[in-house]
Structure 1
Amino acid sequence: MKKNKFLLAITAIICGCLQIAIIIAVLVCPSIITHLISTVSFSDNGIIQDSASSNSNSDKSGNNGFFKNSNSLGFSKEVVIYNGITIDQGIKSNDQINNKAIQLTKTAKSDRERAKILYTWVGSNIKYDDNKAEKVIYGKDSNDMPDGGAVCAFNNKCGICFDKACLYVAMCRSIGLKVRLIGGEAYDGEKYVGHAWNQVYLSDENRWINVDTTFYDGGNYFDSNLFKKHNVNEIVGEW
Structure 2
Amino acid sequence: MRPSLNSLHFLFFALACLLVSCDHREDESVFSKTENPANWCVEGVTELRRGDILVKPNLNIFPGTSFLGGGTSFGHAALVVRGYSHSDPDSLLAHAITVESIAKDVPQEYQVREIAALTHHKFDAFNNTNFDKTNTGRRYRLRLNLTEQQIDSIVEFALRQKGDFSSWNAMKSLPDAHGKNTNDWADNNCWYCSLLVWQSVLKVTGLNLDPNGGYTVFPNDLINSPLFNNDGTHIGRARF
Same fold (TM over 0.5): no
* Structure that is richer in helix per residue: 1
Shorter-normalised TM range:
under 0.3
Kindly name which structure, 1 or 2, has the bigger radius of gyration based on alpha carbons.
Answer: 1
TM normalised by structure 1 equals 0.26
Higher relative contact order (CA 8 A, sep 6+): 2
TM normalised by structure 2 equals 0.26
